Amino acid sequence: MTKNTPAVPIDGAALLDEVEAFHRRFNVFPTEHAYVAVALWDVHAHLMEALDGTARIAFLSPEPGSGKSRALEIIETLTPRAATTVNASANALFRLVSADEGTPTLLFDEIDTVFGPKAGGNEEVRGFLNSGYRRGAKSLRCIGDGSDQKAAFLPSFCAVAMAGLGSLPDTILTRSVIIRMRKKARNEKCEPYRRRVHEKQGHALRDRLADWTATLHEQVSEAWPEMPEGVTDRPADVWEPLLAVADAAGGHWPERGRAACLALIKAASAGDEASLGVRLLTDLRDRVFCGVDRMPTAAILEVLLQLDDAPWDDMSEDGQAIKPLTARRLSKLLSQYVRPDNTPIKPKGIRVGSTTPKGYYAEDLSDAWARYCPLPPESPQHPQQPQHRRSTGVNLWRKTLPRPATCLRKPTHAPSAASADTAAPQ
């Protein structure tokens, strides 16, 4: 790789166009935005010394043969100090990053074998990937031989591209640009990649990228790229280095980069399953309470267990036995969240005729609904407007929503034994 600053200024936009074209020869990505994101990611890997953060990029698909590994092969030819692995221990990864040769570009293929259902979690590898997206991230490890061990901080900051089947832990997905790959259609063609022929072509592009990015370190290190409207927090952290590259390249890349940012963030959120707790809170707000100010636990479970598109009728983790949501599990899930007074959400006694069963008040759930749930669905028939509901002194300002009959009546039959769960915390 060359290290000399070019005597003639390099047209960064044109060079990025060539990088994108090189990918198009061998990769069939699902959208135009994916080509933009991958090209920007290739360049950002050359600028790690100038960046405070790095975006992981994840090529995921439901089936083999979707071009994930080929995407990593092309990235390998274009990025500095590329290191490809299909399996690695956390200690090996830390040693790789701290080696004297410089910050590597880690390409992790078949990562589903690391985080799949039979992999045991691999929490140390997860910790490496989670922490290493920000500069300065280090982990404390013992190093040495035999009894001559010393504690040392090992860095984990490096660019990481991943490919695998299925999905990844949420903590990794939120730090990643997600490209959801798919099998080529019959009318989608690309050039076969032959390493002995095409690798040197990629390396020639890599060396030109190195020459160009060598002139950008100061500019990129001081850049604060303007984020598209609505892109904040973790997504902004992920896309900031890529948009800094787009702005440095100029031409049509700033516009294309921001369009890709919005499109891929939207696609990731649309395909991202909310956590079980957020799913529960959202179902309680939109499909159970529906504006009612309180409900007994038995009635809540009856409604939840009747939802065909929800997971509540089978909460088993091993897939061997059906385990419906119980009062105990409901209480445990909700207790992770707090009421407006910052105390855990817990079931309370609710007056129903002459009885006082345990249940939940919408007032106790209101703060969690506002903080964690997506905006409720809107329609012309049910516009958002404050609605005053008075029931035993509880005033709720709630969106007018269609209300299932089960939201307004007591259960017509006794809940199942699993639902009643008399051993539930009261």
Tens-place pLDDT, residues 350-370: 987 888 999 999 999 999 999
- pLDDT value at residue 392: 29
Share of the chain above pLDDT 90, in %: 57
Residue 388 or 235, more confident: 235
Residue 417 clears pLDDT 50, i.e. is over it: no
- What is the DSSP pairing of strand 105-108 with strand 148-155? unpaired
pLDDT surpasses 90 at 124: no
Neighbours of 137 (CB within 10 A): 19
**What is the token pair recorded at 36?**
């933009």
Mean pLDDT of all residues belonging to the chain: 84
Residue 65 is classified by DSSP as S
Contact 360, 347 (CB under 8 A): yes
Q: Which CATH number fits domain 12-271: 2.40.50, 3.40.50, 3.40.1710, 2.60.120?
A: 3.40.50
How far is it, in rounded angstroms, from Cα 25 to Cα 189? 9
Q: Give 348's DSSP letter.
A: E
Beta bridge partners of 153: 140
What are the C-alpha distances in Å from 16 to residues 171, 212, 257, 311? 30, 10, 12, 45
Tokens coding 278: 């957020």
Does the global pTM surpass 0.85? Answer: no
**Higher pLDDT, residue 213 or 170:** 213
Higher pLDDT, 426 or 165: 165
pLDDT tens digits, one per residue of 360-409: 999 999 999 998 888 876 544 444 433 333 332 223 323 333 344 444 33
53 beta partners: 134
Q: Which is more confident, 13 or 386? A: 13
Angle between helices 276-283 and 362-372 (to 10 degrees): 130
Residue reference for tokens 């983790």: 317
Residues of the chain with CATH 3.40.50: 12-271
